[in-house]
Amino acid sequence: MNHRLLILDDDEGILEAYAAILSPKTNAPVVRSSRASARTQAAAAPVLHPVQYEVTYTKTGLEAISAIEQAYAAGLPYAGGFFDVKLGGELDGIDTIRRIKDIDPDLLCVLVTAYQDRSIEDITNVFGATFSDRWDFLNKPFTKAEILQKANNLTANWDRRRREKEYIEKIKAQQEQLIRAERLAAVGTMARGIGHEFGNILLSIMGHADLALQSKDPSQMEEALKLVGKSSERAAIIIRNLQSMVKTEPKREKVDLVLPIKEALELVGHEIKKHAIKVTEHYAPNLPKTVVNRVEMGQVFLNLIINAIHAIGNKGGEIRITADADERNIRIMVADSGSGIAEENITKIFEPLFTTKGNKGSGIGLSVSRKIIENHGGHISVRSEVGKGTVFLVQIPVA
């Protein structure tokens, strides 16, 4: 509890009256320009109030300012002060408060007036609205009860405001920590996403490079190397896109959705061949273009196609890709003749980190895909039958 108070009044008798009320036990109130009479009075006063105030008595504005400056600098600020409005000397009470309110931003002030010196509006005008909850007033002649009650309020308010300030600072710090943690989590998710995506691309680059190395046929070799180049380009685009994603809104453009599907198929062409998978494509004529992030949509189709390849495994099979549109949505279906999804897993496959592939899967592909699709205002759903295959339906609103 801060029980330090400052009194400013140029009238010796009034200072004595304050001392009698606020410093009844300490025989020697600190009267800066001390006079014996103040002490005598104080010594005679009975103990009337359990609160022990540490009071500094000052007679001029400059004395008050210097006391407040020193106390604030020493880390022992006053909770508040009683300031006589009408003062002789260089500064009156108002001028003094005007100066000290900027020295100690927490100091609470009681303006003591002998008569209606200034109206409350006047005072608010003088100090500004931000100061309005830091001052109070008291009319002379005051009673002991009034002084004690004001002193009580001053110190209690000072403590309450200090606690509130600490509380707000604590909350602010917690919020900043939360935002930092969120940002870190986002960076982490992104890093995993990039890793996942680059894993796919590297797979394609290595596969085609392998093919080029083993091939004796120059035209086949050239074809494979071209795909290595394309995959690398795609990696560069993703990096560029990610960089712009960190900085600004992801870039969207009017796109024929068949393009990112074709790109994704190309990237895994090697895997498709290796697993003896037949791909059939059927795209409705005159499919409307739609505004999407092309790289992100490519990522979705790549994830779906790679999952289909995994589901088919080594026994060969079929992947069917179709696209059509109604007046609201473009609908892309990716169907495979693979293992299918067990009923108990069907609700889990879009959850982040859910995988049935052990160390070979991270369980991120579908959760990222769904996020991307939902960011485009679209929807993804699945139908599956164990042993028969799986159909993913992606719907993206027509731009």
Ligand X SMILES: Nc1ncnc2c1ncn2[C@@H]1O[C@H](COP(=O)(O)OP(=O)(O)OP(=O)(O)O)[C@@H](O)[C@H]1O
Closest CA to 27 of 48, 13, 8, 41: 41
Q: Please identify, using beta-carbon distances, which residue of 193 and 260 lies nearer to ligand X.
A: 193
Query: Which of 193, 194, 203 lies closest to 269 in space, CA to CA?
Result: 203
Q: Shortest approach of Mg ion to residue 303 CB, angstroms?
A: 5
Please state the closest distance from residue 341 (CB atom) to Mg ion, in A. Answer: 12
CA dist., res. 360 & res. 368, Å (int): 17
Per CB under 6 A, does 58 bind ligand X?
Answer: no
Task: Give the pair of three-digit tokens for residue 275.
Answer: 């697993």
- Taking CB under 5 A as the binding criterion, the range among 242-250, 275-283, 292-300, 362-370 that sits at the site for Mg ion is 362-370
Q: How many CB atoms lie within 10 A of CB 125?
A: 11
349 in contact with ligand X (CB under 6 A): yes
Among 68, 151, 302, 366, binds ligand X (CB under 6 A): 366
Residue of 349, 338, 316 whose CA lies nearest to 386? 338
Q: Which helix (H) or strand (E) holds 246?
A: helix 218-247
- Contact (Cβ atoms closer than 8 angstroms) between residue 110 and residue 81: yes
- Residue 66's φ and ψ, nearest 5 degrees, are -65, -40
Distance between CA atoms of 9 and 149, rounded to whole angstroms? 19
- 356 touches ligand X (CB under 6 A): yes
User: Is residue 337 a contact point for ligand X (CB under 6 A)?
Assistant: no
Angle (deg, nearest 10), helices 294-312 and 144-214: 60
341 binds ligand X (CB under 6 A): yes
**Listed ranges 134-142, 186-194, 303-311, 346-354: which one lies at the site for Mg ion (CB under 5 A):** 303-311
Residues 155-174 that bind ligand X (CB under 6 A): none
The distance of closest approach from Cβ of residue 363 to Mg ion in the complex, given in angstroms and rounded to an integer, is 8
* Residue 38 in tokens: 């103040």
59 binds, among ligand X, Mg ion, none (CB under 5 to 8 A by kind): none
384 contacts 341 by C-beta, under 8 angstroms: yes
Within positions 210 to 229, which residues make up the interface with ligand X, using CB under 6 A? none
Q: Does 307 bind Mg ion (CB under 5 A)?
A: yes
By beta-carbon proximity to Mg ion, the closer residue of 307 and 395 is 307
Q: Is 339 in the site for Mg ion (CB under 5 A)?
A: no
**Cβ-count burial 329-347 (b if 16+ within 10 Å, e if not):** bbbbbbbbbbbbbeeeeee
The one of ligand X, Mg ion, none whose footprint includes residue 155, by CB under 5 to 8 A per kind, is none
Residue 204 near Mg ion by CB under 5 A:
no
Write the single-letter amino acid at 68: I
Residue 338 interface partner, choices ligand X, Mg ion, none, CB cut-off 5-8 Å depending on type:
ligand X
Total residues contacting ligand X (rule CB under 6 A)?
A: 23
Contact between 169 and 114 under an 8 Å Cβ cutoff? The reply is no
For Mg ion, give the closer residue by CB, 23 or 307.
307
User: In angstroms, rounded to a whole number, what is the distance separating the alpha carbons of residues 278 and 316?
Assistant: 8
The residue among 96 and 369 lying less far from Mg ion, judged by its C-beta, is 369
Residue 79 corresponds to which tokens in the numbers above?
């909770």
CB of 392 to ligand X, least distance (A): 7
> Coil, strand, or helix at residue 137?
strand
Stretch in the footprint of ligand X (CB under 6 A) among 53-61, 201-209, 265-273, 336-344: 336-344
The nearer residue to Mg ion, 352 or 397, going by C-beta atoms, is 352
Candidate residues 137, 324, 354, 371; the one interacting with ligand X per rule CB under 6 A:
354
Q: Which of residues 294-333 bind ligand X (CB under 6 A)?
A: 303, 307-308, 311
> Which of the choices Mg ion, ligand X, none does residue 397 contact, using the CB cut-off of 5 to 8 A by kind?
none
From the centroid of its chain, how far is CA 319?
Answer: 44
Report, in Å, the least distance between residue 310 CB and Mg ion. 7
Q: In this structure, what token pair is assigned to residue 74? A: 């020493």
DSSP state of 7: E
Neighbours of 385 (CB within 10 A): 11
Q: How near is the Cβ of 370 to ligand X at its closest, in Å?
A: 9
355 binds ligand X (CB under 6 A): yes
Q: What are phi and psi of 255, to 5 degrees?
A: -135, 145
Q: Which of 61, 81, 260, 365 binds Mg ion (CB under 5 A)?
A: 365
| Site residues for Mg ion per CB under 5 A | 307, 365
| Site residues for ligand X per CB under 6 A | 196, 303, 307-308, 311, 336, 338-341, 349, 354-357, 361-367, 390
